[in-house]
Each structure stands twice: as C-alpha cells, then as structure tokens.
Amino acid sequence: MADFHFIRPWALLAFFALFFVLWLLKRMSIAHSGWQQFLPGHLAKVLINGMQKSKPLSLTLPFIIGTLGIVALAGPTWQKLPQPVYQVERGSVLIMDMSYSMYSTDLAPNRLTRSRYKASDLLDSLNEGEIGLIAYAGDAFTISPLTEDINNIKLLLPAISPEIMPELGSNPLAALTLAHEMLSNAGHLEGDIYWFTDGIDFEDIEDINDWSRSFPHRLNILGVGSGEGAPITLPSGELMKDDSGAIVVPRTNEKRLYGLASKGRGTYRTITNDNTDINALITLKPGMESEKEEGESQNLGDQWQEAGPYLLLLLLPLLLGYFRRGTVVALLPLTLLLMPEQQAYALEWQDLWKTKDQQAQQQFNQQNYSQAAKNFQDPLWQGSAHYKAGDYEKALAAFEKFNSADALYNKGNTLAKMQKFDEALKAYDQALEKDPELIDAQKNKQLIEELKKQQQQQQQNQDQQNQDQENQEQEQEGQDSQQQQQQGQDQESQQQNDEQQQSDQQQGQQSEQEKQQQEQNDQGQDQESEQEKQEQQSQAEQEQAEREKAEQEAKQQEAEQQQGEETPEQQQARLAQEKADQETEQKHQQLLNKVTDDPYLLLRNKMQIEYQKRRQNGTPAGVKKKW
C-alpha cells in the first residue's frame, strides 16, 4: 500500500459539494412543507394539517453514499498493470548455421535439433520488433525477410537443414553481410544479430572482426556444441568421413566465438537446457539500458489498476431503498462511465505452450493432415494440409485466396490431382508469369502437357478402335444377312423338294390304288391287305420327312445362336483394349505422382537459383569443406 494514491485527485473537491447538499437537506428537514416558511408559527399549527413534527431526516446514509461515490470517482489505486511501454526500434536477424557439422551428436539428439528449439525460444522472447531469418553453409540465403510475424518464421524453422543448402562448407561472413543488407534496406541503422553456430574456422576470424568494426550492429553468439565434440551422424545413419576415410569429429572452440562476440559489442553464451542462455543474449548492455529507460519516459506513463469501480459495488445495497422513489435511476449511466475497459481472453491448455500454427505444424509433420488443416491459421499451410489429406476441393479453395507464385503453383498441383489439366496448365502459366524461375512449375507443366497429349492420343485410339469395331460389326451383320438369306433359300428349296417327293409318292400311291381297285374285283380279300400295307408305308415316309424338317430347323437355330455370340477375334480385341486402358491409367497415375508437392522443395530450388546467379557474378565462397 506504499504506492496508494488517487488517479484523479481533483475529484476529491466534490466533497465541498457533498457538504453543501447535506446542509441543504438538513435545512429542508426542519420544515414539513413549503408553507411553513411563509406562515407564522402559531398560524401554521392551526391551518396546516400534520401538526406533529416528522422524524428528523438522517444524513448518515447520504453521506456514506456520497463519500463512496467521490472516492470511486477519484480513482484509488496502489498497483500497476503490466504494459508495454517501450517499443523496440532496432531490427533483429537470426543466423542459423546449416553446415553438416550441425548433425554432430554431442548434444542429444543432435546440434541441429537443439538449435531449432533454441531459435523458437529466442523468437518467443523477442516478442516485439522486426526479425529476419538467414541460413548459411558454403553460402548464405535469406529464408525470411524482416517481419513482425514471428509465427511465420517458426513455421520455416523445420524446413531448413543442411540437405537443402546448395553448397557445402561454412561461410559465416556471407551470412553477416546479408544480415547487414537486410537491416539497412529496412531502414535500421543499428540492429541485433543472433548467430547460432557450432564453430568457425581460423581463416574467418579476421574477416568477421573487420565486419564488426565496419558496422554498428550488436553480434550475439550462441555456441551449439561442446569442446569434446562427437561424430557427425547423417540422416541415413552413416558417419561422415573426411577424404582420408577418418571419421569427422567437429569440436566447438568457445574462445574464438567469445572473442568475436566481444568485438561485436555483443554477448556469447553456450547452449543450456534452460532459458538462461537466451535471456543473456537478449539482455541489453548498460549503455543500451539507459537508452531504453530514456525511451520509456518519452513514450507512455505508468498504467495503474483502478479500484474505483469496485467501490461502486458497495453502493448498490445502499441505493436499493432509493429506487422506489426514482431518485437514482438517472444516475446509473454515470456509473457505467467509471467502469474500466477489460480484455477478454479465450485460452486453451495447449495454447499455454504452442500457438495454433505450431500445433498444426506438429500434426502436419506427424502426417495427421486432417487435424492440421483444422488448426492452421495460415491459409497456405491449411491448403497444403488439405492437399496432403486428399481433400482437393478445400485445398483449391484455400490456394485461390492468394495470387502469389507459390499459391498459383500449389493451385496447379491441386487441379492436376483433380484431373482438370487445362485449368492446371493455366495456373502454372500464371505462376511462371509472377516468377519465371519457378523450376517446379515448369517441370509440372511439362508433365501435365505430356499427360494431356497421351490422353488425347488415347482418345484418338479409342475412337479409331470404336470405328473399326463398328465397321467389323456392319460387315458381320452383312455376312449374317447373306447367310440367313442363303439358308432361307436352301430351306425353301428343300421344302419344295419334300413337297414334290410327297406329291410323287401320293400320285404313285393313287395310281397303285387305282390299279389295285381294278384288280379288286378279281383278287378280293388279298387286295384289301395290300392297300393297308401301302397306307402304313406312306405314313412312315411322312413322319420321316417331318423329323428331317425339325432337325434342319434345330440346326438353323443353333447357327443363329452362334452368330449372336462373340467371335474369337472380337473377344481377343476386347481383351487387348482393356489391357491397353489399364496400362494407360497406370501411366497417368505415374505422371501425376511425379508432380512435385513437397512444401520444402520450393525453398531449396529458390536457393539453388540464387546460388547459380552468385557464382556467375563471382561471389566469394567460404572455407571449402564438407562439414
């Protein structure tokens, strides 16, 4: 309570008004009505009803209410609110060593992983101002320009590794030079450079000291490694060896790094398991602390937590008795004016440690793409998660929100997966218009064009096969028609022959019967027996003719059924077509699988293009080595 004071002490002058009001109330309580001040006392007792004096008005409650209200208006306080009263005007650049020595395992699991964790801690500590990200090995490259979006830089940290660097080796001077260009282009005359490395070569010491003397930036170095060192375990599990076949064991020379930080007006710390190393790096030196305090006094004053609104809560029970009379209803808006502005927060347990994008990035790395898409706040990363999850419609909707080269490139990949090749080619063309050196877009465009040509060729072959099949069917139908006509003619001719044969037989039988009739009178009983025998023979011949006709009709029906089924040539052609369609579909899928959708590949290709330009311009390289 030593800091107790009033934010608005001038409001205490209202006590004079309170005492004046109480004095008026006291005077008004003496008289029962307004007539008493005009009539003599002896007449007032006779003429005015209510001769008895009312109970004197108590002024205790109005005094308490007035006192609490005035004190609340004055703003009593005794503690401060945490407020950012100092705006950092210095830019910051984080430089990450990406040489293969960062795969050394003297720090578990390796130096690279630990440096990424420390980089994330540093970004959390630098919660104000602009910061950029640079990675270097044999050459240095800008991963992220100066930005206030720290979460965006955090998302890029897992993407950088020694494998994507265009040149092997170690060239810290190139990284420091690039950091100075980044700061000066953004208008920062001075800046803080945070350099995470596991060591430097002796040849680079003098060059870095010359750089520190030339520029006023503060060089802070975090040593990631130990003096004992450890072998370099590559991602494949193999140990790196030098040209002689010996296992490489890189060691961190802390004295060299400490000397560079001292001459660079900065701080050197060895990596620790807690945040003491990061806190030491971001702590300003005494001269800079005085500048910071001066900046604080010129910016914002102290902000105190006001307790006045809480005193108003004590007034509510006291004012309840006056609500019936309507005396305080008009005063309620005044109490609202005294309420301080409050901030509302919606906090989840995971948000205490990681942002939504960080949680989504972890889920993305774990191949839980559906959940990552729900948590990503960045639309581009959200689209990538939808793409990986196979939800191409949502991925396309996310990529269409942006008109950058990368977004158009991802849009083309999504359209290609959706078999919309014409739209995919259009998206690739738009991406190349914005960035003609986007190699992946050029490659994917060529793949889609090749795939489209194959699809058109397949369609033409299919049309030709359909036409050939139609012609073959027409020829077959013509042959079947001729065969049916020929069979009909043969059947008709056979039927006529049968009828002629039957007619001849009947005529022969009739003539024979007439002859027998003529001999009947002579032969008698013998003729009748011979006639019965001839009738039986004629009936047998008719039955034989009917059986032959039925067999002929059955053969004709069987021939027609065989004609309705596929011929061996047609069946062979159909099987060949199905096999060709299956092979074409496999080729299409193989071409689609070649479409590049690695989100980290763009970063590597951009660095490769920049590296080629620098080599053409003769940019000096650093120490030539593999680690």
Q: Given the structure tokens 């680079």, which residue do they identify? A: 204
What is the chain's mean pLDDT, rounded? 76
Same domain assignment for residues 238 and 310:
no
Is residue 365 classed as helix, strand or coil in its secondary structure? Answer: helix
Nearest to 32 by CA among 50, 11, 12, 9: 50
Q: Which long-range contacts (CB under 8 A, 24 or more apart) does 178-182 make?
A: 178/134, 178/140, 178/141, 178/142, 179/93, 179/95, 179/132, 179/134, 179/217, 180/211, 180/215, 180/217, 182/91, 182/93, 182/132, 182/134, 182/142, 182/145, 182/146
pLDDT interval class at 621 (50, 70, 90): low
Which of 423, 446, 469 lies at the terminal end of a domain, its last residue? 446
Is the same domain home to 103 and 129? yes
Same domain, 325 and 292: no
Instruction: Look at the chain and report how many structural domains it folds into.
Output: 3
Domain harbouring 435, CATH code: 1.25.40.10
Q: Which residue has the higher pLDDT, 25 or 126?
A: 126
Residue 191, φ and ψ in degrees, nearest 5: -155, 170
Q: d(Cα 163, Cα 599) in Å, to the nearest integer?
A: 15
Residue range 556-584: mean pLDDT, rounded: 66
In a domain, residue 344? The reply is: no
Asked if 138 and 269 sit in the same domain, the reply is yes
Q: Does position 230 have pLDDT exceeding 70, yes or no?
A: yes
Q: Give yes or no: residues 146 and 293 share one domain.
A: yes
Give yes or no: residues 315 and 441 share one domain.
no
Counted residue by residue, the chain has a size of: 627
Residues near 426 by beta carbon (within 8 Å), at least 6 away in sequence: none
> What are φ and ψ of residue 622, in 5° steps?
-90, -155
Task: Name the more confident of 331 and 623.
Answer: 623
Q: Is residue 264 part of a domain?
A: yes
The pTM of the full predicted model, rounded to 2 decimals, is 0.44
* Same domain for 243 and 112: yes
Task: Answer whether residue 561 is part of any domain.
Answer: no
- Whether 203 and 226 map to the same domain: the answer is yes
Choose one of 425, 446, 467: the last residue of a domain: 446
Domain of residue 97, CATH code = 3.40.50.410
134 & 47 share domain: no
Please classify residue 96 by burial: count the beta carbons closer than 10 Å to its beta carbon, then call 0-12 exposed, 13-18 middle and 19+ buried: buried
Predicted pLDDT of residue 271: 95
Burial readout 201-240 (b: 16 or more C-beta within 10 A, e: otherwise): eeebeebbeebbeebebbbbbbbbbbeebbbbeeeeeeeb
Q: How confident is the model at residue 225 (pLDDT cuts 50, 70, 90)?
A: very high
Distance (Å, whole) CA 368 – CA 459: 39
Please indicate whether residue 52 or residue 114 has the higher confidence score (pLDDT).
Answer: 114
Whether residue 215 sits in one domain with residue 128: yes
Give the model confidence (pLDDT) of 135-194 as tens digits: 999 999 999 999 988 888 998 899 899 999 998 889 999 999 999 999 999 888 889 999
The mean per-residue pLDDT over the stretch 21-28 comes to 79
Helix segments in 75-171, DSSP class H? 111-125, 150-156
Which residue's entry shows tokens 């774990």?
366
Tokens read off for 386: 């939808």
Q: Is residue 102 included in any domain, yes or no?
A: yes
The answer to whether residues 221 and 271 belong to one domain is: yes
Query: b/e per residue, 308-335, with b = 16+ CB within 10 A?
Result: beebbeebeeebeeeeeeeebeeeeeeb
- Give the residue with greater pLDDT, 247 vs 472: 247
434 found inside a domain: yes
Task: Give a yes or no: residue 597 inside a domain.
Answer: no
Tokens 């590559």 label which residue?
Answer: 234
Q: Please check whether residue 83 lies inside any domain of the structure.
A: no
Q: What is the pLDDT of residues 288-324, one digit of tens each?
A: 444 444 444 334 445 677 888 888 888 778 777 665 5
Q: Which residue among 424, 446, 468 closes a domain? A: 446
The HSE-up count of residue 452 (CA atoms within 13 Å, CB side) is 14
**What range does the domain containing 389 cover?**
353-446
Q: Judge whether 391 lies within some domain.
A: yes
Token couple for 528? 């009748």
- Nearest-angstrom CA–CA distance, 200 and 198: 7
Same domain, yes or no, for 329 and 387?
no
Report percent pLDDT > 70 for the chain. 64
In the sheet that 131-136 helps form, which strands lie side by side, from edge to edge?
Answer: 140-147, 131-136, 91-97, 191-197, 218-223, 268-270
